[in-house]
Amino acid sequence: MQDRNEWVMIGASAMALDKENNRCPDAILKRDRLKPERQTKPAEAGTTNKEKDGMSLPRALEGIRVVDFSWVRAGPWATRWLGALGAEIIKIEWPENERGRLPSSTTPQDVEVNLNTSGNFNDTNVNKRSLSLNVRTPQGLDIVKRLIAISDVVIENFSSRVLRNWGLGYEEQCKVKPDIVYVSMSGYGHTGRNHHYTTFGPVAQAVSGLTFISGLPDKPPAGWGWSYMDDTGGMYGAMCVLTGLYHRNMTGQGQHIDQAQMIASIPLTGPALLDFTVNGRASRRDGFPPGNRAHWPGTPLVNNYRGPTVAPHNTYRTHPGDYNDWCVIVCHADVEWQRLVQVMGQPAWATSPKFATLAGRLEHQEEMDEGIETWSMTLDKYELTERCQAAGVRALPVQSSEDRVEHDPQLRHRQMYLEMEHPALGVRKIQNAPFKLSATPAVNHLPSPLIGQHTREIVEGLLGFSHEELLAGYVDGTFWPTTRARYAYMEEMLR
């Protein structure tokens, strides 16, 4: 049984882009340069009618090609949204080291576990095509350089030395495409004494200080649940790409944008840093962090910089009292408290003068919370939300994944989760872009690829290799490990 204060509400917004002031030598190009001809356009299969309506309009990144070396979460999250904006994403992958595809607990229970059925991978990698390629061979390196030569962006989220060790550092990329926009998303960046360190989201947020300021007072830090800095880092990565493309379009110059996942976490701790440097207050102290509350009862009443110090400000159990039956209620002013009293039916305890002012509600917060929860337990979280919102009281349900995907009417109206048909997983709901563009809609237009699904399409159709050269690449291990069995769709493409 959870305490209501364990549902931690966190809100922060900041961004840090750790860019090295670096650009290709002799890469001063004409602004009106000719773009490479797009020889192959992805087939827009597996989409719904609603999505097709959006695809009848031009997309913001139409005509931009991205060579995507990213893996696991942060990098693929960036390219997922670039794809939704219309960019052509070509995912370079190899079955021996693609951790994101490895069999996992996210494969639906009624589906065979293999490299193509990870639920997490298949949500993270929609809007992309897959080229299976061993870049560590001379043939593979030559092929990927040919691809970079006709592309606009290269993106990866390896540690700082990986692409350089492959012979694909920024200087090498410039030799084949002088105005390339190269976005690296390593843990610690490509410079400094720790540039070779490896990280992932929870590690980055821990070392940045984010984890330390989470949770309840007098308890160990709680962390931020899901791998926050992977998803946030992915959004930063997409911003880096857009910034680089804008700069290139204005100047004709490409550049290396060096994003560091850990350093991107630092600005999110800005209020805590200011509180320490200006007020001399530590990030964990008596009554802080206060969990869901704006102020922890029985501790010094100070401004904790997380927002107004108000009460009520908590999460309350709702009917029928199961694991996920909770609702958040916040009153920012006395008039909002009076509205809540009316919604609750003016119970005798709530009309007591000791609750009439903010000072009184803060002083008697425990008693007030118990009274509110006695009422909230009589309603389910959605009915409670509707009644409060109708009266002008800030209240919203705590939602599970099922609640959001299947039951939220606002998300349904915004088309946040729409069905796509995947060749291995069947018809599944996939999350759409959380923003709406009126003139250039951002929509999912391709289900996530089977590994190597588009190898022939890219190698022959885009790069101009012959079918015999494709066959030879499968024989010598360029396009698929010689010791690993091929999937049926690969055998079909080789006929």
Annotated catalytic sites, by residue? 230
Instruction: Give the number of other Cβ atoms within 10 Å of residue 28's Cβ.
Output: 12
Contacts 24+ apart (CB under 8 A), 454-459: 454/90, 454/129, 454/130, 454/131, 455/130, 455/131, 455/132, 455/133, 455/479, 455/490, 455/493, 456/493, 456/494, 457/40, 457/129, 458/40, 458/90, 458/129, 458/131, 458/147, 459/131, 459/143
- Of 347, 482, 433, give the one whose Cα is nearest residue 61: 433
Both tokens assigned to 31: 């602004």
Q: Residue 431's closest CA among 15, 51, 11?
A: 51
CA distance 401 to 403: 5
- Partnered with residue 422 across adjacent β-strands are 426
Answer whether 91's CB lies under 8 Å from 131's CB: yes
